Structure formats: structure tokens, C-alpha cells
A and B are shown apart, each in its own frame.
Chain A
Amino acid sequence: EPEVTQTPSHQVTQMGQEVILRCVPISNHLYFYWYRQILGQKVEFLVSFYNNEISEKSEIFDDQFSVERPDGSNFTLKIRSTKLEDSAMYFCASSQPRGGADYGYTFGSGTRLTVV
């Protein structure tokens, strides 16, 4: 079964450093997403991306965050200057509408970001 692949599985970074979280969505999917989950809290939407641009973003997704699809396979989330409160699991997801309907997202297994 096709998978969404995320790397690394765990990233430790110092406060103020830049991090890039990487995702390889399912190959024929066209819609891409980032979510995050702070330990013990809900899964929160960050951003959606389609046709090489952001289609929607949440309040969490401020100027410190950016997304990019640098080639035909990767989808990245960059945090410019990490803060302690950015520590969380970050999940990438992708979807592909079929027949005019949208059948939901496939999520990756996540990257645990720890900011120290």
C-alpha cells in the first residue's frame, strides 16, 4: 500500500536554529498538508498546499514557518528560528481527489521535533 514517508523520525535542535522536516507524499497525490501534535494535545492543522502554493494556513503557521515542494517528490516544512514551544510531532499528509470527490488524507508516521 502506498505510504507517506517522513524523515527524520526524530530531530533534536537548539532553540533559534532552523530545521527542515521532509516528506515524500504518495506519488500521484496533488494535495499536501502539515499538521502538528504537541504532546498530550490535539492534532492541529498547519497548512495545505496545492499547485505549488499555499491554499490555506492556520494561525499557528506564522512567518517562522514555510513550505516548499522543491522537486516532484519532496514536500518540506521549514521552521526558521525554532522556539521551545515548537516541540511537537509533525505529520505530513497527502490526498488525491477521485471522480470529483475527496477520499481523505494519508498521513505519514511523523517527525518528533525536540527543541532544547
Chain B
Amino acid sequence: SQTIHQWPATLVQPVGSPLSLECTVEGTSNPNLYWYRQAAGRGLQLLFYSVGIGQISSEVPQNLSASRPQDRQFILSSKKLLLSDSGFYLCAWSVWGEAFFGQGTRLTVV
């Protein structure tokens, strides 16, 4: 069966520090991968999606970047975090029209 792992579950980082959130998928190959952010009381905002290794599409300009070094690994990064980067980050993957979400990472930038 397919599973998705996202870590860490919570993270508190100071302004200006780097960020690396990792997401891995098991049980499938060549999935579409997504990074979403959800601000408090707001809906999901698509940040990045990837249809294959090294292929990253950015939906909104921001302080974040994404990479897909392996077929089932998706990484969200930042060189210097801003206060506005705080939020709930979700990784998801999809194959044949069904999306599966990770449990999310609560990021607080202080």
C-alpha cells in the first residue's frame, strides 16, 4: 500500500534561519508531488508541484524553494525564513486522480 511520510510534525525556527522539510512516498512510482501551505484560518495554497525528478513548478513567488532529488522524495527549503513563512505545510502526492496528504508540519517562525 502507498504511504506518505512528512517530517517534522512541528518546528520552531528563528527569523533568518534555513528550513528543510522532507516528504517521501512509498508504494508507488512517478507520482505527482505537491507542497501546500495553509495559513491560520485560510485555505490551501499550492506552493510547488512536481511531475518528475528535477521538475519543479512554482505557483507563487516566495521565499521558498523545492527540490525533487529522487522519484519519491520532495523537499521544501528556505535559505532565510521570514515571519510570514509561519504556517501549516502539507505534502501530497497523486496518481490517477487521487491525492494523498501527509500529516503536515506546523512551522512557527519567531
A pairs with B: no
